[in-house]
Amino acid sequence: KEHSLFLTIHLSPIASPQEFLESVGHIERYVDSICPRHLCREDEILYGVGFGFDFFRKISPDFGHKKVEPFKYHERSGALGRLPKTGGDIFIHAKCNNYGKLFELTQAIINNLPPRSVDRFEDIYGWVYRNGRDLSGFIDGTMNPRDPDERAEVAINTYTGGSYGLVQKWIHDMDLLRSTPDNIKEKWIGRTIEHSFVLHDKSITSHIARMIGSAERGKWPKFRIVRQSQPYGTLSGEAGLLFLAYAAEIKNFNFMLDRMTGDTEDREIDDVMRFSHCVTGNYWYFPSQEELTRLVTMGKLEP
């Protein structure tokens, strides 16, 4: 899809988690109203609903018995910056070829939430840039699984049928990117800009080496994720990458984030942090459609 919605909602202290959940549970109705299936074959809206850990344990106190692992996110920091923990209660990820329909979906969700239930929210709209490149010029998601079954294996937990998500908002230093020679940027990433070929002599601090766990040629990633990131922003304001990835287990993310900030034996820092800084971060649990329906229904049955 050409466009994405990344909607983070923080509840107010007086909000009822179950009333809030019931309202969010109407998202399918909003989608059908904005984009009826018989009319929107090309502009269909695909979506997922994720929950922050504190919110999820309120609506599903027995989550441990259902084999959902605690998905607490903690802040990390290193010599080139930090990966902050900014929290959140509900996260909506939606995709569509029509930007306007995603804006309508945000309106429908926010305007129909219980009165005074929202402390704050942030809606960010991503878009495809140069056939799938990051604003730095590099192709994004080169190592994503291509086969649908393989993607499901990487992203969906076998026991729960749900998926864990990592969401971070990165702001790029566009002036630095513009003034830095391509060969330097390629060393930072560990790939060529034009064709995304892996460098044979990449540095241990290159982004590729940090993420796969080695600078050696031909090494396969130790942990895999399914990226759904997109660029966002404006030239007059801030611009960068809204990073979103799915995985079957939280350890996949922990491995990568630790290696970004040098929370490892080698203490090396990811060179990505030379030209971009992270301003938000949180883990989310995206239940299956069946589990989401059950959670909403259980909330309605409670006295």
* Contacts of 77 by beta carbon, 8 Å cutoff, 6+ apart: 83, 261
pTM equals 0.95
Residue 62 is among the residues annotated as catalytic for this protein: no
pLDDT for residue 44 = 95
SS3 191: strand
Give me the torsion for CA of 233, 234, 240, 242, rounded to 10°. Answer: 0
Per-residue pLDDT of the chain (303 residues; tens, 9 = 90+): 999 999 999 999 999 999 999 999 999 999 999 999 888 878 899 999 999 999 999 999 999 888 999 999 999 999 999 999 999 999 999 999 999 999 999 999 999 999 999 999 999 999 999 999 999 999 999 999 999 999 999 999 999 999 999 999 999 999 999 999 999 999 999 999 999 999 999 999 999 999 999 888 777 888 999 999 999 999 999 999 999 999 999 999 999 999 999 999 999 999 999 999 999 999 999 999 999 999 998 865 454
pLDDT for residue 303 = 44
Regarding beta strands 90-96 and 226-227, do their DSSP bridges make them parallel or antiparallel, or are they unpaired? Answer: unpaired
271, 185 contact by CB (below 8 A): no
Catalytic residue among 32, 43, 134, 140: 140
Distance between CA atoms of residues 110 and 24, nearest Å: 9
47, 96 contact by CB (below 8 A): no
Distance between CA atoms of residues 231 and 4, nearest Å: 10
pLDDT for residue 302 = 52
